[in-house]
């Protein structure tokens, strides 16, 4: 299970998912690098980092593999997105919650 509730992301531990974000303000050129980060708390230790680029449609796609969250404890983490446009670093949002949800079934 993977879904977004406003900026809060929910992902069942060990599931795959794809987050598609559309940038609307001051969008850098296609191909500009973007880094998606997850921490236990804002300003805390980095837990997961995913790299992506801005597409021709001003979107960013972040892909989650099973391995990305399989070892995380259930609970609340925090995520944000940073855009690296040459010498500029842009954080287009406030930190938001990333919920690693419990599952009922066994791993296979």
pLDDT > 90? residue 10: yes
Rounded distance between C-alpha atoms, residue 80 and residue 97, angstroms: 9
pLDDT > 70? residue 85: yes
Assigned domain for 106 exists: no
Provide the whole-model pTM: 0.89
Assigned domain for 107 exists: no
What pLDDT is attached to residue 103?
A: 82
Reported as a single tens digit per residue, the pLDDT across 19-78 is 999 998 888 999 999 999 999 999 999 999 999 999 988 999 999 999 999 999 999 999
Number of folded domains in the chain? Answer: 1
What pLDDT is attached to residue 105?
A: 74
Q: Give the pLDDT mean for 88-94.
A: 92
Positive or negative torsion for Cα 44, 94, 68, 60: negative
What pLDDT is attached to residue 26?
A: 80
Assigned domain for 67 exists: yes
pLDDT > 70? residue 107: no
What pLDDT is attached to residue 104?
A: 80
Assigned domain for 18 exists: yes
Assigned domain for 108 exists: no
Assigned domain for 12 exists: yes
Beta bridge partners of 62: 19
Assigned domain for 95 exists: yes
CATH of the domain at 61: 2.60.40.10
Rounded distance between C-alpha atoms, residue 21 and residue 35, angstroms: 12
Distances (CA, A) of 4 to 18, 20, 33, 60, 107: 11, 10, 23, 15, 24
Assigned domain for 31 exists: yes
Give the residue numbers spanning the domain of 40: 2-101
């Amino acid at each position: 299970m993977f879904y977004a509730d406003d900026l809060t992301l929910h992902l069942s531990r060990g599931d795959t998912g794809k987050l598609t974000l559309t940038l609307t303000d001051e969008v850098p050129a296609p191909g500009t690098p973007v880094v998606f980060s997850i921490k236990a708390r804002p300003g805390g230790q980095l837990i997961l980092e995913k790299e992506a680029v801005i597409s021709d449609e001003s979107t960013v796609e972040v892909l989650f593999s099973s391995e990305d969250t399989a070892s995380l404890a259930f609970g609340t983490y925090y995520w944000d997105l940073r855009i690296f446009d040459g010498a500029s670093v842009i954080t287009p949002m406030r930190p938001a919650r990333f919920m690693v949800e419990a599952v009922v079934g066994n791993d296979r």
